[in-house]
Protein backbone atom coordinates (compact mmCIF):
# COMPACT_ATOMS: atom_id res chain seq x y z
CA UNK A 1 0.00 0.00 0.00
CA UNK A 2 1.52 3.28 -1.02
CA UNK A 3 0.70 6.28 1.09
CA UNK A 4 -2.01 8.57 -0.15
CA UNK A 5 -1.11 12.23 -0.60
CA UNK A 6 -3.37 13.07 2.32
CA UNK A 7 -1.66 10.63 4.69
CA UNK A 8 1.76 11.66 3.45
CA UNK A 9 0.98 15.27 4.31
CA UNK A 10 -0.39 14.36 7.74
CA UNK A 11 2.72 12.29 8.52
CA UNK A 12 4.93 15.14 7.35
CA UNK A 13 3.16 17.53 9.72
CA UNK A 14 3.64 15.21 12.70
CA UNK A 15 7.34 14.84 11.86
CA UNK A 16 7.82 18.60 11.60
CA UNK A 17 6.00 19.09 14.90
CA UNK A 18 8.32 16.64 16.66
CA UNK A 19 11.29 18.26 14.96
CA UNK A 20 10.34 21.75 16.14
CA UNK A 21 9.28 20.70 19.62
CA UNK A 22 10.97 17.36 20.36
CA UNK A 23 9.49 15.46 23.31
CA UNK A 24 11.84 14.29 26.06
CA UNK A 25 14.72 16.45 24.84
CA UNK A 26 17.53 16.87 27.37
CA UNK A 27 19.83 14.87 29.56
CA UNK A 28 18.60 12.53 32.30
CA UNK A 29 20.17 12.31 35.75
CA UNK A 30 20.34 9.83 37.24
CA UNK A 31 20.19 7.35 34.38
CA UNK A 32 20.93 3.65 34.17
CA UNK A 33 21.66 3.41 30.43
CA UNK A 34 23.36 5.76 27.99
CA UNK A 35 24.72 5.54 24.46
CA UNK A 36 25.66 7.72 21.52
CA UNK A 37 24.83 7.22 17.88
CA UNK A 38 26.12 8.76 14.66
CA UNK A 39 24.81 8.68 11.12
CA UNK A 40 27.75 9.95 9.05
CA UNK A 41 25.68 9.83 5.87
CA UNK A 42 23.51 12.72 7.05
CA UNK A 43 25.49 14.10 9.99
CA UNK A 44 22.90 13.11 12.59
CA UNK A 45 24.11 12.52 16.11
CA UNK A 46 22.18 11.53 19.21
CA UNK A 47 22.88 10.82 22.84
CA UNK A 48 20.24 8.69 24.53
CA UNK A 49 19.57 8.28 28.26
CA UNK A 50 17.30 5.72 29.92
CA UNK A 51 16.28 5.16 33.50
CA UNK A 52 15.27 1.55 34.02
CA UNK A 53 13.91 0.50 37.42
CA UNK A 54 14.57 -2.72 39.35
CA UNK A 55 11.54 -4.33 37.72
CA UNK A 56 13.09 -3.75 34.28
CA UNK A 57 10.63 -1.02 33.28
CA UNK A 58 11.84 2.06 31.38
CA UNK A 59 10.72 4.86 33.68
CA UNK A 60 12.16 7.68 31.62
CA UNK A 61 13.93 8.20 28.30
CA UNK A 62 15.52 11.38 26.99
CA UNK A 63 17.84 12.41 24.21
CA UNK A 64 20.04 15.25 23.05
CA UNK A 65 21.92 15.83 19.83
CA UNK A 66 21.89 17.48 16.45
CA UNK A 67 20.26 16.11 13.39
CA UNK A 68 17.80 16.41 10.58
CA UNK A 69 14.03 16.53 11.05
CA UNK A 70 13.65 12.79 10.50
CA UNK A 71 16.26 11.78 13.08
CA UNK A 72 14.95 14.20 15.70
CA UNK A 73 11.32 13.25 15.13
CA UNK A 74 12.25 9.58 15.28
CA UNK A 75 14.10 10.07 18.59
CA UNK A 76 11.21 12.09 19.98
CA UNK A 77 8.62 9.49 18.97
CA UNK A 78 10.84 6.67 20.19
CA UNK A 79 11.29 8.11 23.69
CA UNK A 80 7.51 8.55 23.91
CA UNK A 81 6.97 4.95 22.83
CA UNK A 82 9.50 3.57 25.34
CA UNK A 83 8.22 5.10 28.56
CA UNK A 84 6.52 2.57 30.78
CA UNK A 85 7.66 -0.36 28.62
CA UNK A 86 9.80 -3.26 29.75
CA UNK A 87 13.21 -3.82 28.15
CA UNK A 88 11.76 -6.90 26.47
CA UNK A 89 8.95 -4.80 24.99
CA UNK A 90 11.49 -2.17 23.88
CA UNK A 91 13.36 -4.83 21.88
CA UNK A 92 10.08 -5.94 20.33
CA UNK A 93 9.14 -2.39 19.32
CA UNK A 94 12.62 -1.95 17.83
CA UNK A 95 12.27 -5.14 15.77
CA UNK A 96 8.79 -4.20 14.61
CA UNK A 97 9.77 -0.65 13.64
CA UNK A 98 13.03 -1.68 11.99
CA UNK A 99 11.29 -4.35 9.96
CA UNK A 100 8.57 -1.93 8.84
CA UNK A 101 10.86 0.97 7.97
CA UNK A 102 13.24 -1.19 5.92
CA UNK A 103 10.42 -3.00 4.11
CA UNK A 104 9.52 -2.43 0.49
CA UNK A 105 7.61 0.86 0.01
CA UNK A 106 4.70 -1.10 -1.40
CA UNK A 107 4.48 -3.53 1.55
CA UNK A 108 1.38 -3.19 3.72
CA UNK A 109 1.66 -1.01 6.82
CA UNK A 110 0.37 -2.41 10.12
CA UNK A 111 -0.62 0.93 11.63
CA UNK A 112 -2.33 -0.71 14.63
CA UNK A 113 0.88 -2.36 15.81
CA UNK A 114 3.16 0.59 15.07
CA UNK A 115 1.05 3.29 16.69
CA UNK A 116 2.41 6.80 16.20
CA UNK A 117 5.67 5.45 14.75
CA UNK A 118 3.76 4.89 11.52
CA UNK A 119 4.38 8.53 10.55
CA UNK A 120 8.05 7.68 9.92
CA UNK A 121 7.31 5.05 7.29
CA UNK A 122 7.30 7.66 4.53
CA UNK A 123 11.10 7.28 4.53
CA UNK A 124 10.71 3.84 2.94
CA UNK A 125 10.48 5.71 -0.35
CA UNK A 126 13.76 7.55 0.34
CA UNK A 127 16.42 4.90 1.09
CA UNK A 128 19.05 7.48 2.09
CA UNK A 129 16.77 8.71 4.89
CA UNK A 130 16.08 5.29 6.41
CA UNK A 131 19.25 5.53 8.52
CA UNK A 132 18.06 8.89 9.88
CA UNK A 133 14.90 7.17 11.13
CA UNK A 134 16.65 4.09 12.53
CA UNK A 135 19.59 5.91 14.20
CA UNK A 136 17.81 6.51 17.54
CA UNK A 137 16.73 2.88 17.61
CA UNK A 138 20.21 1.54 17.01
CA UNK A 139 21.36 3.87 19.77
CA UNK A 140 18.67 2.33 22.00
CA UNK A 141 19.98 -1.16 21.30
CA UNK A 142 23.51 0.08 22.03
CA UNK A 143 22.37 1.57 25.35
CA UNK A 144 20.60 -1.63 26.36
CA UNK A 145 23.69 -3.63 25.37
CA UNK A 146 25.79 -1.70 27.89
CA UNK A 147 26.50 1.67 26.29
CA UNK A 148 29.15 3.07 24.00
CA UNK A 149 28.87 4.51 20.53
CA UNK A 150 27.16 3.12 17.47
CA UNK A 151 27.23 4.29 13.86
CA UNK A 152 24.89 3.45 11.04
CA UNK A 153 27.80 2.66 8.70
Contact footprint for Zn ion (CB under 5 A): 42, 44, 68, 71, 132
Separation of CA 38 from chain center: 13
Least distance CB 71 / Zn ion (angstroms): 4
Nearest residue (CB) to Zn ion, 38 versus 60: 38
CB of 12 to Zn ion, least distance (A): 15
> What is the closest distance, in whole angstroms, from the C-beta atom of residue 67 to Zn ion in the complex?
5
Provide, rounded to whole angstroms, the least separation between the CB of residue 99 and Zn ion: 20
Helices first, then strands: H and E counts in the chain: 5, 4
Closer of 56 and 126 to Zn ion (Cβ): 126
Cβ-in-10-Å burial (0-12, 13-18, 19+) of 127 comes to: exposed
Determine the Cα–Cα distance for residues 141 and 139; give it in Å rounded to an integer.
5
Q: Would you say 20 or 113 has its CB closer to Zn ion?
A: 20
Cβ distance to Zn ion smaller for residue 46 or 81: 46
Cα 29–chain centre separation: 21
Amino acid sequence: MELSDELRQLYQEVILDHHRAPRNYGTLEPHTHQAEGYNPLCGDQIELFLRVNDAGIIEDARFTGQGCAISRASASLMTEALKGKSIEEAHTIFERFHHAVTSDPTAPIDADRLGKLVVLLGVREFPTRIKCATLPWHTLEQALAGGGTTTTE
